[in-house]
Every structure is written in structure tokens, then in C-alpha cells.
């Protein structure tokens, strides 16, 4: 089959960022499918608006240079979304696909997906990686009443023009059902654990990682590796580090990544006196370097603002921690928190009680028996429930099982 795979944030293991699209696309190619990924190039080495292609592990990647950064204001980012959407539909249609697949976020990727599938009269499969526009509305990024109305209409169009929907969590699936989409045409395929990448970690590399950082050495290490966006609320970890420093000055925090809130987070760390003492920053690391980073950690964190929509999230950092066999520390509820409580693979802190959270975390970091049990439980969870290879089989069936007559009624809402 020839597959047009529209994903605005395609990254390989040599690049920072999530690699879900890369992992699934290369596996589709290994299965004999012809895969064309249509994505955005945020670099500056190509003229803006000029397509270029590359071959990546059997996959043809079509790159559209569009200036974009998490540092940009929301309005500028939205403009970038629409610039990509306006050009990528024709590119996807040009490969003459048998199926068109579009993965959000942002929600605007549905537009080129619908366009290409309608033009070529082939199935359209839509993947929901975050509940949009619910999340932008919750954080105040989308306030205009007309803008909200249009965003909800776009979400409805995305779902009701899809012959199948892939959701990254049960909560996201319920969100799609809330738009009147048939539950039986939704498949849940969460983010996964790349066990092959995390299996062959040299203990000497981990030792060198710690030794290269004089502030770390053999001390307990709390790691955050992800985006410094508004929704992430990484300032929580800065405040937690301050509380921890009063209790256990040897505990170290390492925050790895970039984003529009990085500077503000760094300023806060300096203001409250933990920057360079117990809390340190490093730039984002490629996915291929994450195994050593996380194996060097005592625990790994996934934090967000306490928004209802985040309870359904499927953050990559959560699954990377499991793959590395490291206890996961969350500060939000939802299905991931339930998993940690059920399996003992980590702990759930209270976002609103940093003082109490420091007590809980401090006790965990100094409990060697708990750390051993939680690490084993995390790795077992990765193997039993979130192996990327096992999840790919479910993904492929959801994607290609829709090469059949379109089940949508003629009155289905959406873009025509």
C-alpha cells in the first residue's frame, strides 16, 4: 500500500522530540508499504516554502520549511500551522496514496488530510495525540468566541471525515465519542516504549555521564526531559527542588529541554536560590541519547499544569522512563497516575502541595528497597503493555483495516 503520513513534527532518533511517527513509519516500510511522510522543516537551511525530500530508513520524507518554535507567540504559531496545512494537502495527494493518515497536534493537520483523501477518493485515518481545542482553551491560548467556535467545528470535521480514529489514550477516545463519533471506529494506541533502544545501555556510559557532572557524581538525581511550554508547568519542579534542598541538600534536579518558558523557569530557579546548587539545566537531547540520560536518573518526572484535559495525555517522557526502568513521578491524575498506583511503578505528587510532595519524594529517593521494586515494575509495565512493536500491530490494523468501502453516512458533517 502507498501511505501518505502527515505529521507536522516528524523526528528521528537523531533529533530531539517525539519519534512516534518515525517508529511507525519505518515499521510500515519494513512491512513492504510505500510510505511518504509529509512534515515541517523548522530549520533555516532551506528557502521557506520550498519542498525538499530525504530517505529515512526506507521512508520518503517530504519537508516543507516553515519558521516555527515553541518560543513563538501563540498567534505566530497558529499562522505557521495554517501555512503548513495550506501546502501539505496537495503534497500528500501528489503521491497518489491508497490511504491518507494525519496525526495531530495541531488540529489543523486534519485539513490537508481531508483534502488529500477527498481528492484521491481514499480512506482518511485521523490520529488524536491531544484533545484540541479543549487544551488550548483551558490554558487561555484560544479566547476569541469565534475562534473557539471555528476550532470546535474543525475538530468535528476532523473526526466525522475520518473512516477511523486512532486515540492515544482512553480519555482521548472518550473525547472523540463526545463529538458523536462511533466508538467502534476508534482504536486506542498509546505512545510506546522503544525497548530495543533502551536495552543496550552500557553501564560505563552511565558512569561517565555522572562523572562528567561534578555537581552530580553519586547523588540522587531527579530528571525532567521535555518541553518548557506553558502547559507543562515546569516551574513546579523548581519549587519542589527548593523544598527538597531544605530537607536533603544532596538531591539534584536536572531539567533538559527548551521552550518558551525556559527563560522564565531559569529566572525562577535563580531567584529562589537553587540554580547551580541543586538544580541544573541542559539543552534538549536527541532520542538516541535518552537511554543513558534516563538510566543515570534515580527517578524521571512528567509534569503538567492541573488541567482536566491533561488527565488524558500520553506524554513521551512517561514511556521513555518506563523503557529505561526508572520510577516515574507525576503531578497530575488520570490513566497514567492510575497505572502507577496499580503497579507501583512510580509515585503521584500533589501539584497544589509542593511541601507535601517534597516529603513524599524525599522519602522515595532514600528508600533503596522501594526504588528497586519501582524500577522493576516500570520496566515490566514497558514490556507487558507498551512495547512499540506490539502497539505497531494494533496501529497497522487500525490504519490499513480501513481500506474498505467508506462506512460514513452521506450526511456526515465536515469539509466537503
Interval 257-266: pLDDT, tens: 999 999 999 9
Alpha helices in 162-301 (DSSP H): 170-177, 195-199, 203-211, 235-247, 262-271, 290-296
Cross-strand partners of 223:
254, 300
Q: Residue with C-alpha cell 536527541?
A: 286
Neighbour tally for 112: CB within 10 Å: 25
By C-alpha distance, which of 323, 327, 336, 251 is closest to 290? 323
The CATH T-level fold of domain 2-192+388-400 is Rossmann fold (3.40.50)
State the Cα–Cα distance between residues 332 and 345, nearest whole angstrom. 15
Do residues 35 and 25 make contact, with C-beta atoms less than 8 angstroms apart? Answer: yes
The CATH T-level fold of domain 195-385 is Rossmann fold (3.40.50)
Q: Does residue 411 surpass a pLDDT of 60? A: no
Count each helix (H run) and each strand (E run) in the chain, helices first: 16, 14
Do residues 187 and 393 make contact, with C-beta atoms less than 8 angstroms apart? Answer: no
Q: What percent of the chain has pLDDT over 90?
A: 83
Q: How confident is the model at residue 414 (pLDDT cuts 50, 70, 90)?
A: very low
Mean pLDDT, rounded, for 305-329: 94
DSSP 7-38: ETT---TTSSS--HHHHHHHHHHHTT-EEEEE
Mean pLDDT, rounded, for 299-307: 95
pLDDT, tens digit (0-9, with 9 covering 90-100), for 234-269: 999 999 999 999 999 999 999 999 999 999 999 999
Least confident of 139-148, 210-219, 307-316, 325-334: 139-148
Q: How confident is the model at residue 203 (pLDDT cuts 50, 70, 90)?
A: very high
What mean pLDDT, rounded, does the chain reach? Answer: 93
Mean pLDDT, rounded, for 268-293: 97
Domain-by-domain residue ranges, the chain? 2-192+388-400, 195-385
Q: How confident is the model at residue 47 (pLDDT cuts 50, 70, 90)?
A: low
pLDDT, tens digit (0-9, with 9 covering 90-100), for 147-189: 889 989 999 999 999 999 999 999 999 999 999 999 999 999 9
Mean pLDDT, rounded, for 282-310: 95
Q: Residue with C-alpha cell 545501555?
A: 201
Report pLDDT for 370. Answer: 98
Edge-to-edge order in the sheet of strand 124-128: 52-56, 59-65, 34-41, 2-7, 99-104, 124-128, 164-167, 186-188
Report pLDDT for 78. Answer: 84
Least confident of 21-30, 65-74, 92-101, 250-259: 65-74
Q: Does residue 413 surpass a pLDDT of 70? A: no
Amino acid at each position: 500500500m502507498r501511505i501518505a503520513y502527515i505529521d507536522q513534527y516528524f523526528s528521528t532518533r537523531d533529533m530531539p522530540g517525539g519519534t512516534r511517527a518515525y517508529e511507525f513509519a519505518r515499521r510500515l516500510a519494513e512491512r513492504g508499504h510505500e510510505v511518504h511522510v509529509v512534515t515541517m522543516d523548522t530549520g533555516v537551511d532551506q528557502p521557506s516554502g520550498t519542498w525538499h525530500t530525504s530517505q529515512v530508513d526506507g521512508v520518503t520524507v517530504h519537508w516543507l520549511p516553515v519558521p516555527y518554535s515553541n518560543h513563538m507567540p501563540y498567534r505566530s504559531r497558529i499562522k505557521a500551522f495554517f501555512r503548513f496545512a495550506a501546502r501539505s494537502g496537495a503534497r500528500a495527494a501528489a503521491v497518489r496514496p491508497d490511504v491518507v493518515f494525519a496525526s495531530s497536534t495541531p488540529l489543523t493537520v486534519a485539513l490537508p488530510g481531508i483534502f488529500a483523501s477527498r481528492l484521491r477518493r481514499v480512506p482518511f485515518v485521523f490520529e488524536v495525540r491531544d484533545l484540541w481545542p479543549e487544551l488550548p482553551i483551558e490554558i487561555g491560548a484560544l479566547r476569541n468566541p469565534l475562534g473557539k467556535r471555528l476550532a470546535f467545528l474543525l475538530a468535528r470535521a476532523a473526526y466525522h471525515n475520518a473512516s477511523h480514529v486512532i486515540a492515544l489514550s482512553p480519555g482521548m477516545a472518550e473525547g472523540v465519542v463526545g463529538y458523536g463519533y462511533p466508538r467502534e471506529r476508534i482504536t486506542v494506541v498509546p505512545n510506546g516504549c522503544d525497548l530495543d533502544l533502551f536495552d543496550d545501555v552500557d553501564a560505563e556510559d552511565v558512569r561517565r555521564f555522572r562523572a562528567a557532572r561534578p555537581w552530580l557524581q553519586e547523588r540522587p538525581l531527579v530528571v525532567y526531559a521535555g518541553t518548557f511550554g506553558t502547559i507543562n508547568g515546569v516551574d513546579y519542579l523548581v519549587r519542589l527542588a527548593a523544598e527538597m534542598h531544605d530537607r536533603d541538600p544532596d538531591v539534584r534536579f536536572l531539567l533538559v529541554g527548551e521552550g518558551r518558558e525556559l527563560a522564565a523557569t531559569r529566572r525562577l530557579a535563580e531567584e529562589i536560590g537553587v540554580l547551580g546548587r541543586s538544580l541544573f539545566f541542559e539543552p534538549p537531547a536527541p532520542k538516541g541519547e535518552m537511554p543513558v540520560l534516563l538510566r543515570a536518573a534515580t527517578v524521571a518526572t512528567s509534569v503538567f499544569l492541573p488541567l482536566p484535559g491533561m488527565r488524558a495525555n500520553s506524554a513521551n517522557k512517561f514511556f521513555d522512563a518506563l523503557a529505561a526502568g526508572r520510577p516515574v513521578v507525576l503531578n497530575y491524575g488520570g490513566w497514567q497516575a492510575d497505572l502507577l498506583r496499580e503497579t507501583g511503578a512510580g509515585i503521584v505528587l500533589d501539584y497544589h502541595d509542593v511541601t507535601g510532595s517534597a516529603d513524599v519524594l524525599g522519602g522515595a529517593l532514600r528508600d533503596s528497597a522501594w526504588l528497586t521494586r519501582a524500577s522493576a515494575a516500570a520496566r515490566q509495565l514497558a514490556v507487558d503493555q507498551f512495547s512499540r512493536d506490539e502497539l505497531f500491530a494494533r496501529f497497522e490494523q487500525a490504519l490499513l483495516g480501513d481500506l474498505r468501502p467508506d462506512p460514513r453516512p452521506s450526511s456526515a458533517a465536515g469539509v466537503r
